[in-house]
Amino acid sequence: MPVLPSVLIAPVRILPLHRGRAAGAKAASVTGGNGIVIRGLGPGDSLAALTDLLHRAYAELGAMGFNFTAVDQSEAVTARRIRGRECWVAFVDGRLVGTVTLSPRRPISLPPWRDGLSTAMINQLAVDPVMRGQGIGGRLLDVAEGRSRDLGFTSVSLDTAESAEHLVRLYLRRGYAAVAFHRWRGKTYRSVVLEKLFLPVPGGRGCLRPAIVRGEETA
């Protein structure tokens, strides 16, 4: 009998759907293995706790000089940034340890980087600093990417500081490719937009990978 990869035979907890403040998060929830439960943010979840998690997770980026919004955003800004989007939250032993938000559209201020494709955007990916390196961030990305695919998007995208090399490398390893640069108003850094395509496209995928390495802008 063939041995299945452990991910396929790990127990999976499916939780009921929560229709929360973050519209969407329609899928029931995910996961299993090492006690992580990921589900949509529900009405009983605390925005203060979510904001506090974001602050703790993004503190290291703030210390590196990157003024990501999540470094110090208010609870009201957290509410605004999840409104009309899918906010997923990860728990271990009932404790909030991670989050990711999926937006069904590209922000208007972000120029389109490809014709004829629809993309969902990932924001506010965060894992509690004391819970890092246990696969929680990867699971959250799995959920956001899986949802994007299930919702019919042809790709999923995100942006990060181009000089946050550990993050750029993480996304490249997961199959994202750099497709554009953008400078958000008020930010200390230039962002690189990374996209993960679900379908092959003529002309191939991301064209900026060598530029990331050289630190040049080619598009």
Ligand X SMILES: CC(C)(COP(=O)(O)OP(=O)(O)OC[C@H]1O[C@@H](n2cnc3c(N)ncnc32)[C@H](O)[C@@H]1OP(=O)(O)O)[C@@H](O)C(=O)NCCC(=O)NCCS
Applying CB under 6 A, which residues contact ligand X? 57-58, 60-61, 125-127, 132-138, 160, 166-167, 170, 173
21 vs 56, beta carbon nearer ligand X: 56
Residue nearest to ligand X according to CB distances in the complex:
137
Look up residue 94 and give its two tokens.
Answer: 């009932």
CB of 11 to ligand X, least distance (A): 19
166 vs 214, beta carbon nearer ligand X: 166
Q: Which residues pair with 126 in a beta bridge?
A: 99
CB of 166 to ligand X, least distance (A): 4
45 vs 162, beta carbon nearer ligand X: 162
19 vs 169, beta carbon nearer ligand X: 169
CB of 26 to ligand X, least distance (A): 23
CB of 147 to ligand X, least distance (A): 17
58 vs 88, beta carbon nearer ligand X: 58
CB of 70 to ligand X, least distance (A): 7
